[in-house]
Amino acid sequence: MEHLDQKSKLTIMIAIMAAMLFAALNQTIVGTALPRIIADLGGMQYFSWVFTVFMLASSITAILVGKLSDIYGRKPFILIGIGVFMLGTFLCGLSDTIIQLIVYRGIQGLGAGMIMSTSFTAVGDLFSPRERGRWQGIMGGVFGLASVFGPTLGGYIVDNFDWHWIFWVFLPVGILAFVLIWKLFPTTERNPSEKVDYLGSIFLTLTILPMLLAFSWAGEAYAWSSPQIIGLFISTVVSLIFFIQIERKAKSPVLPLSLFKNSIFSLSNIIGFILGMGMFGAIMYTPFFIQGVMGTSATKSGFIMMPMTLAMVTASAIGGQIITKTGKYKKLAIIGLLIMSAGMFSLAQMDESTSNLIAVTNMIIVGLGLGLSFPVFTLTIQNAVSHKFLGVATSSAQLFRQIGGTIGVSIMGTVMSISMKNEMEKAAGGNTSQAFAQNPEAAAKFEKLQDPQALMDPEALEQVRSTVPENFLGIFDQVLGILRTALSHSLSLVFLTGCIVIASAAILTFFLKEIPLRTNNNESTDENEERVELKERSV
C-alpha cells in the first residue's frame, strides 16, 4: 500500500483512526459508569471480570490476528474486528445481568484486539519506517483523546440518561469507520505459501491466558502462594514448553522464534514490557492518591488527571515529528524514559499536604516522558524486521506491553497492600484500639475504614460518619487521618517502585542498537544493518 498517493493514504488513515477512536472511547467510557451499572445489575463480586475478560480476549486476538493478517492482509481483520466490536458493544447495552455484561465484554475484547493489532500494522503498510514516527504519534493522540473525553462523557451520560447509552452512543462512529475501511482500504492477495499454525495458536493461547489470570488474581482473589495461582503458573510454564517445541517445527509459526534472535526485536519488547509495568502502574494508582489521600472527588480527579493525558498526547505528536524529520529515535526514547522516571520519583514525594497544582505538575512530567518514549519501541520493532513479519512483530509489541501492564499492576498492588497492612498494624496499638474495646458497636463501623477503597468515595465516608456516636467523631477523624497517611506511604512506595522500573528501561535503551529508519518497505533490514556497520567502521 506504500505506492498509494498521499491523498489516498490520508483518507485511509482517517478511517483507521475512526476505528481506533471508536474502540478506545468504548474502553475509557466504561470506567466512570461501571459503579452505576453494578448498582443496577448487581453482582459486585464479579466486578473485576468486566475488565479482566476484555483484557484477556483482546490480548489473545491481537497476537493471533497479527500473524493471520500477514497471510490474508489487514483489511478482512480490521473489518471483522469492527463488526465484532460493534456487536459486543450493542449487546453490552442490552445486558440484564452482570454475567451477560461480562460475556458481551468478552466479545468486545475479541473485536478490540483485531482493531488495535491491524490498525498499527496498517500504518506500517502505508508508510515507510522513516514516515511512521509522525503517524504513530498522531495515533497515540487518538488514545489520549479517548482518555480525556471518554470518562467525562461517561459520567455525564449516567448522570443524565440511562447507562445503556454509554455503549450505544458511539455506534454511528463504528458504522462510519466500517464503511470507510470497506470502501477505501486496499485488498491484498493471500500469500499462498503461508499456512495457518493452528496447533501453535492453541498453545500460545494456553500460555498467555493462565499467566494473565494468575497475575490478575494474585494478591486480590487469591494469595500468591495459593494452589490456584501456583497451578496457573505451572500451566503457563508447561504450555510454553510445548509452544516452543511446536514453533521450532512449524513451517509458518504463529510467532516465529527466529525473530527473537534479532537483538533489536528482543530488547525493544523487553523495554516495552517494562514500560507497560510502569505506565499502567502510574495510570492505575494515581487516582488512589488524588481521591484517597487528597480527598478529591471522582469528578474533579478526572480533571486533575487530564493534564497528564494532554501532556502525553502533545509529547507523542512532537516526538513523532522529530523522528520523521531526523530519522533518530534512541536519544528521544532515553530522554522520555528518564523524564518519566523523574516524574514517578516526584509522585513518590507527595503526601497529604500536597496541593492540586503540585500533583498536576508531577503528572504532567510523567505524561511528557510517556508520550516521548511510548511510540518509539513499536517503531524500532517494525524497522528491525522484514515487512513480511510486520503484523506478527507489531502485535508482539502490543502483547508484551499488555503482559507488562498486567504484571505491573499486580506487583504494585501487592506492594501497596503489604505496606498498608504494616502501616495500619503500627497504628493499631494506639489510643483508638482502647476506645474500640469499650464500644464494640463503634469498632464494627470503624472496620469499614480498614479498606483503602473506603477513601475513594467521600459520600460513603460521610454516611458512615453520620452514624458514628458524637463522642467518637474525634476518633473517627483520627482513624481517617491514619488511613490517609498509611495510604500515602504505601502509594509512595508504589511510585518509587515504578520509578526504578522505568529507570531500568532507560538503562536498557542505551544498549539498543540504532539502525537508520528505512525510507521504503522493500528495503532489506539486513542491508540496512550492514550499511550501518560499514559507516561505523569508516568513522
8-28 in b/e burial notation, b at 16+ Cβ within 10 A? ebebbbebbbbbbbbbbbbbb
**pLDDT for the residue 533:** 42
Cβ atoms 495, 347 nearer than 8 A: yes
**pLDDT for the residue 439:** 53
Nearest Cα residue to 264 out of 373, 378, 125: 378
* Cβ partners under 8 Å of residue 128, min gap 6: 2, 517, 518, 519, 520, 521
**pLDDT for the residue 243:** 92
Rounded-to-integer distance, Cα 331 and Cα 10, Å: 29
Written as nine digits, the cell of 313 is 498526547
**pLDDT for the residue 58:** 85
**pLDDT for the residue 536:** 40
**pLDDT for the residue 97:** 87
Q: Give, in order, the Cα–Cα distances in Å from 397 to each of 228, 376, 429.
A: 29, 11, 49
Cell numbers 506487583: residue: 411
Q: What is the pTM of this model?
A: 0.80
Written as nine digits, the cell of 180 is 470507510
pLDDT along the chain (539 residues), means of 10: 73 84 78 71 72 82 84 87 93 89 91 86 79 75 73 73 83 87 77 75 90 82 88 94 90 86 92 85 74 70 77 86 86 93 92 85 91 86 84 86 82 79 66 51 54 59 67 70 80 90 93 81 50 41
Written as nine digits, the cell of 186 is 486496499
- Three-state secondary structure readout of 153-203: HHHHHHHHCCCCHHHHCCHHHHHHHHHHHHHHCCCCCCCCCCCCCHHHHHH
**pLDDT for the residue 276:** 85
Percent over 70 (pLDDT), the chain: 81
**Which stretch of DSSP H or E encloses residue 304?**
helix 298-326
The strand pairing partners of 222, in sequence order, are: 218
Half-sphere exposure of residue 140: CA atoms within 13 angstroms, side-chain side: 31
Rounded-to-integer distance, Cα 183 and Cα 195, Å: 28
**pLDDT for the residue 19:** 83
Measured torsion, CA atoms of residues 455, 457, 465, 435, in degrees rounded to the nearest 10: -20
Cβ atoms 348, 495 nearer than 8 A: yes
Nearest Cα residue to 167 out of 180, 153, 177, 181: 153
Cβ atoms 236, 211 nearer than 8 A: yes
Cβ atoms 485, 352 nearer than 8 A: yes
Measured torsion, CA atoms of residues 295, 496, 31, 82, in degrees rounded to the nearest 10: 160
